[in-house]
Amino acid sequence: MDSWITDQQNHVRVRTSKALWHIELNRPHALNSLSLAMVRQLAQVLDAARHDPHVRCLLITGSGSKAFCAGGDIKWVALQVRSGNRAEAEAFFHEEYALDLAMHRFSKPLVVVTHGVTMGGGLGLSAGADIVLATETTHMAMPETRIGFFPDVGATGWLYAKCLAGYPEYLALTGDDVLGFHAVRLGLATHGVESHRLKDVLEALEEAAPRLSPDRSTARRQLFELMASVTRSEAIPQDAAMDAWVRSYFDGVSSVPELLQNLSQCQMQSRLCEGVFRRLSERSPTAVTLTLALLKVQRGRPLEEVFAMDERVARWIIEHHDFWEGVRARLIDKDNRPRWNPSRFEEVLSFGPLDRFLRTEAE
């Protein structure tokens, strides 16, 4: 491959060959979290690759050993809103969602390596990929309800297309972690590969890239055949008991108070119930209740509609008390003692102008 081509801040690096372009997120001091400038640079690279007839595949990785991408730079977003620069915050979400949708609709196959921390907007980048490689270091989550936000980047839509029953609700509402090769078990990654073998797998990808079909669906089949020959399916764990528990408590859950009541009266895996009950109780009541409403209305919708809804919700929630309070408590002061308002799930009765968008067909 040729040498790295970088953006002005060196936060996005691109290495090109005729068939495979390797894009690296290069902001390791911030766990490769996405700035607005990085989103714009990624969109430009995607557009250039789309129009280059020689490109057969894109590979996206993160710099350093700690993270693929910890998500959008949500602290920066909150500070923009706090300082009265709302337009920049809205531009970030608008352009991030446009980038994510473009990846879902891209004409050529995408391969993403989700080593280390892969959260929020990092999962937004991997969700549109054909091949998502997890390693034993992978640490995935959609943790937004912890900071008074919601699982955006299309998650309330695509989680249903990827995950086992109950897990879309479980992961989105609780923000709980998915570690290592469990990402493959749950459908958030397609293959698992040990870190010490990753270099060999990527070399095999580079060698195969010139032979990939120009048709994305055909190339995807070719890539799955390649990965089947260079990864080990026996490394993927199984956890039937956890799957049954999640399905029992979260699949089709109708309301957050009902969910909390069921968890408090747990009849199976009581310690697990107690832990999830405690963590849910610590989340923003507004964010969790809003997330459940979104899960109900977004399921099965075209991604274009899902992302449009995400943008509406983002514009509303960045002005809500809980968003700043969550960012303050978790990312700025780091006292981990957010003071949510309202503080009880039963008190969350309305989402103002969002209400008319959140009515499901059943209602």
Provide the pairing of β-strand 5-6 with 110-113. unpaired
Determine whether 175 is an active site residue.
no
Cβ proximity of 149 and 323 under 8 Å: yes
- Which residue in 321, 316, 303 sits closest to 90, CA to CA? 316
Among the options 100, 152, 169, 310, which is catalytic? 152
Question: Annotated catalytic, 121?
Answer: yes
Structure tokens at 25: 């997120």
282 tagged catalytic: no
- Catalytic residue selected from 62, 120, 121, 148: 121
Sort residue 7 into left (φ over 0), alpha (ψ -120 to 50) or beta.
beta
Q: How far is CA 215 from CA 17, 42, 45, in A?
A: 19, 22, 19
- Whether residue 152 lies in the annotated active site: yes
Q: Which of 72, 116, 148, 166 is catalytic?
A: 72
The DSSP annotation for 6-23 comes to E-TTSSEEEEE-SSEEEE
**Which is catalytic among the residues 73, 96, 100, 144?**
144
Catalytic residues: 72, 121, 144, 152
